[in-house]
Amino acid sequence: MKRILIIMLALGLAINLNAQNVKIGYTNADYVLSLMPESKEVQSQIQAYEKQFSNTIQQKVQTFQQKVAEYQQNAPTMTDQVRTDKEMELQAEQQSLQKFQQDAEQSIMRKQQELYEPLYEKIQNAIDKVAEENGFTHIVRAEAMLYIADEDNGNISDMVLRKLGVEPPVDDAE
């Protein structure tokens, strides 16, 4: 029993001594990303990629709408069998169009991830260097902070920007 008590006391003391050396910082990676010059190029690439899909979808919608209008105009003169076949064709085409739209959205999301991933890696490397150079033991996302007593103390976002070679904007409040 004494051994357990001594071990617990030693662990508690070690944890307490360790806790005194904790230095926590935080950063907003999205803020850093928004100020990186590469971010604008990625945004324009994504917009161009989206536009390709948008144009294709717009053409498909127009073609579909024309077929629906043609069906509505000719439906009164069609036999039941022909009308049923045309309705099934239109439903299949509508489903195909919806699937194309969903696939396009997924493709755009994958493209965004693909293009932004190297930038986030670059940011992470800069965060790691800033943390190491300034003795931080923990860096957390600013969005995860529930309480910040002193918003200026511990915010490393501007240091990360400088590490990336980007001059942070001047804060007019100072």
Q: Are 39 and 47 in contact (CB under 8 A)?
A: no
Residues 132-164: tens digit of each pLDDT = 999 989 888 887 776 666 666 788 888 899 999
What are the pLDDT digits (tens) for 25-42?
Answer: 889 999 999 999 999 999
* CA-wise closest residue to 140 among 19, 14, 22, 34: 22
Q: Determine the topology of domain 23-163 in CATH.
A: Protein Binding, DinI Protein; Chain A (3.30.910)
pLDDT tens digits, 71-125? 999 999 999 999 999 999 999 999 999 999 999 999 999 999 999 999 999 999 9
Helix (H, G, I), strand (E, B) or coil at 26: strand
pLDDT tens-digit series, residues 6-24: 666 656 655 654 556 888 8
